[in-house]
Structure 1
């Protein structure tokens, strides 16, 4: 089966804060709640990655990155998660829903790893940087040829940073943003350099929004839950 024939995947980035009351529970109560939540993640058929944001932001402490073949899978997991003991103390602070699809610009451009953005394949790198992305209306009024030319420059810069793996997903009609971007790397300084270099790219003025940006640290679900309390 070719990439274009593969069914799209649904992708959900859910950021949580934890009610301080949970940290005031006894150690045995917290342990039971973490074990229950970890068991739910382990038993799920979805692709799930957990990240800690403790010390990174004031409005998010935990990220669950979910990949599902359908929306029902994401809906079911969210329902089960929020009905656990720990779930009763969790608040969703940010939520981004998207899908995979073949890039409009990929046909005239070859990625080194053959990326066509129809499959999410987490690399397991230590850090994940996530942000929603919106282009200006003026961008879509340009011809496809003009947009392709500017995106080729964008891709060329990206190839200078092979240590940074991008996951581009699409939210048109599904959520408030147009795209959700996730960048995996073991070296945050390389991601910083990449973002700084792209600030001077020709297509930059056509960016309407690319915040908030979340810095996330990968761990097992047990490690991530231990980090929050």
Structure 2
């Protein structure tokens, strides 16, 4: 049954996944209150219209991360949707004051590694993102060393079994792994959802002690994000 489910998952269409981070130009805060309120309302309308076209999840980083104010986690079957959406955002008054310090592009894909701890009937739909709905999201680009890719497949599976087993000790943390090979600078983009930041901290600290961490080349920046409604998020960064 598990193999059949995996085969069915592999047939599902794959998705493009983008983590777009935005920073508001401080010049916007010097505008009068009414202008800023109108700008928030205009951009909110644009973003909410896109929620009916693609999977779009807003998160604030305001007050936590210096170089970003918010994240738009965007998922679509069509890569050009991201350009169309960015164009509409740029045409708004507030959108003209937004910079993009980070934008990570990836796709969904079924993992080659066997997860012994996934029970029958609970297999992940790897070719499609299934949002867990956790309040907090932790996102980072991930690059493996080149020696990792020349290890025998069996050896990589052995190392990943330890990695996966430890991850299952934290059921409150949901992992979303997406793949960037050839699409962006990193190998993967990983996004962890949870309601308990302390669990994620303990998870990452423990993973540092696994053998797989020896093959990590880069896993920064790690950005802490908090789920927030679009209008509220834009109002906060605009000072209204």
Same fold at TM > 0.5: yes
Q: Does 1:137 align with 2:143?
A: no
Of 96, 99, 124, 1:91 maps to: 99
Q: Which range moves more in the overlay, 152-161 or 112-121?
A: 112-121
Of 152, 164, 171, 2:161 maps to: 152
The 1:193/1:130 distance shift into structure 2, 3 A limit, reads: same
- 1:133-183, CA deviations, whole angstroms, 9 ceiling, x for partnerless residues? 000000001000000011111110111101001110000000000100000
Q: Does 1:13 align with 2:19?
A: yes
Of 48, 61, 64, 2:69 maps to: 61
**Partners in 2 of 1:110 and 1:200 — Cα distance?**
20
Q: Does 1:33 align with 2:42?
A: no
Of 97, 111, 126, 1:117 maps to: 126
**Partners in 2 of 1:2 and 1:27 — Cα distance?**
53
Unaligned residue ranges in structure 2 (runs of 5+):
1-6
**Partners in 2 of 1:119 and 1:110 — Cα distance?**
20
Q: Does 1:80 align with 2:125?
A: no
Unaligned residue ranges in structure 1 (runs of 5+):
none
Alignment check: 8 A CA contact 2:21 2:72 kept: yes
Equivalent residues, number: 228
Q: Does 1:217 align with 2:226?
A: yes
- 1:109-156, CA deviations, whole angstroms, 9 ceiling, x for partnerless residues? 453542242111212211000000000000001000000011111110
Output the aligned Cα RMSD. 1.3
Q: Which range moves more in the overlay, 116-125 or 130-139?
A: 116-125
Q: Which range moves more in the overlay, 144-153 or 36-45?
A: 36-45
Deviant stretches of 4+, over 3 Å: none
Q: Give TM-score, length-normalised by structure 1.
A: 0.96
The 1:110/1:70 distance shift into structure 2, 3 A limit, reads: farther
**Partners in 2 of 1:136 and 1:117 — Cα distance?**
24
**Partners in 2 of 1:82 and 1:184 — Cα distance?**
29
Q: Does 1:42 align with 2:51?
A: no
Alignment check: 8 A CA contact 2:117 2:165 kept: no
**Partners in 1 of 2:117 and 2:80 — Cα distance?**
34
